[in-house]
Amino acid sequence: MNAGRTVDSHAQLPVIVDAMGGDHAPAAPVQGAILAAREHGVSVILVGHQDRVRSLVPDTGLGELIRIHHAPETVGVGEEAVAAVRQRTGSSIVVAMELLKAGRGGAVVSAGHSGAVVAAAVLHLGRLSGIERPGLAIPFPTTVGRWVLVIDAGAVVDPRPQWLVQQAILAAGYVRAVWGVLQPRVALLSNGEEPTKGNRLVRETHQLLAAALGPSFVGNIEPHKIPDGIVDVVVCDGFTGNILLKTAEGAAALVQQTLRVALARHWYTKLLGVLLRPTLRREMLRLDYRAYGGAPLLGVAGLVYIAHGRSDAWAMRQAVLAAASAARSGLLAHLEEIAASQLRERSQPAG
């Protein structure tokens, strides 16, 4: 965050962790929270079935940092998001959002049903003033050693153009505040660089982004150009963004497996593999979703970080640390300022 910015009231509050969310819950969320508490002194509230969660928390002397809040229900991955959130009021994700709304924590972290997390955040926290739909912002690796923020990565699969503009503005604000990029370059994902390329949504959004962002909007970008690091924010609908990221995950896995097979083929390639292992491990970590842990849901009236469903303990640790850092930095207040500013501009009469 920029020096001198006022830290909001959530700064010293614990991170609320959905202990029942994710493919490896409750073990991975609980272990990740313990790592964050033990290594960095982060205070956490574990929300989930009390007996199951308590059995995973050893007597480590972290009693002041780790608390458990009972939630008897969970939302399954196959359930319809909005219906499940409305019906399962005792689910861990709903209870977590209610705790955040009540001011009991500074942020929520969940690796559970992403649709349910988004629905619970919107229904229980509400949206920032001036923001019609939130967007999931996920860091995307580049060849130049820094990230590109992709929004939306799955929160809204069928948006309107103006929603994407709002998400772009929030993402640019996030990049300025968290990554320290003073003038973020924003691009629109399309199948060609020309303004006339893309479907109707892309073409209409292009015009609105150009008008809203001015020179900060650099036009369309094709998917294969994202890793070049020539922009800071890439805007797209949630369906396209989710497909983009899952394809990238598959490509990264393919590269890893191909290298593993190639280096195991002969004695001399095995020797080379041993020599290269530290370097390869370091570089492949940049392609691993676990490195950033959780992605912020921008546009809701609270700090919500959504972790990958396959997150292990280390990935959950990263997500908890990211959420704690955001709460300390006053990120929510900054995003509220951005949203309010955009609302004021839209309310002013033309001319």
**Which of the 8 DSSP states describes residue 141?**
E
Residue 346 forms part of a structural domain: no
8 A C-beta contact, residue 122 and residue 134: yes
What mean pLDDT, rounded, does the chain reach?
Answer: 87
Instruction: Please give the residue range of the domain that contains residue 96.
Output: 1-131+299-330
Residue 116 forms part of a structural domain: yes
Tokens of 58: 């050893």
* Domain count along the chain: 1
| pLDDT bracket for residue 270 (50, 70, 90) | confident
Beta bridge partners of 297: 136
| pLDDT score at 68 | 94
| pLDDT score at 285 | 61
Which amino acid, one-letter code, is at 205?
A: T
Tens-place pLDDT, residues 230-249: 999 999 999 999 999 888 87
8 A C-beta contact, residue 84 and residue 91: yes
* Domain CATH for 83: 3.40.718.10
Q: How far apart are CA 64 and CA 147, in angstroms?
A: 35
Tens-place pLDDT, residues 88-118: 999 999 999 999 999 999 999 999 999 999 9
Residue 111: how many other CB atoms lie within 10 Å = 31
Instruction: Flag whether pLDDT at 27 surpasses 50.
Output: yes
Residue 203 forms part of a structural domain: no
| pLDDT bracket for residue 346 (50, 70, 90) | low
| pLDDT score at 141 | 85
Beta bridge partners of 296: 305
Tens-place pLDDT, residues 34-50: 999 999 999 999 999 99
Positive or negative, the CA dihedral 114, 119, 122, 123 is negative
Average pLDDT on 268-287 reads 72
Tens-place pLDDT, residues 167-184: 999 999 999 988 899 999
Residue 262 forms part of a structural domain: no
Average pLDDT on 277-297 reads 71
Beta bridge partners of 235: 151, 188
Residue 31 forms part of a structural domain: yes
Q: Which comes out higher in pLDDT, residue 307 or 249? A: 307
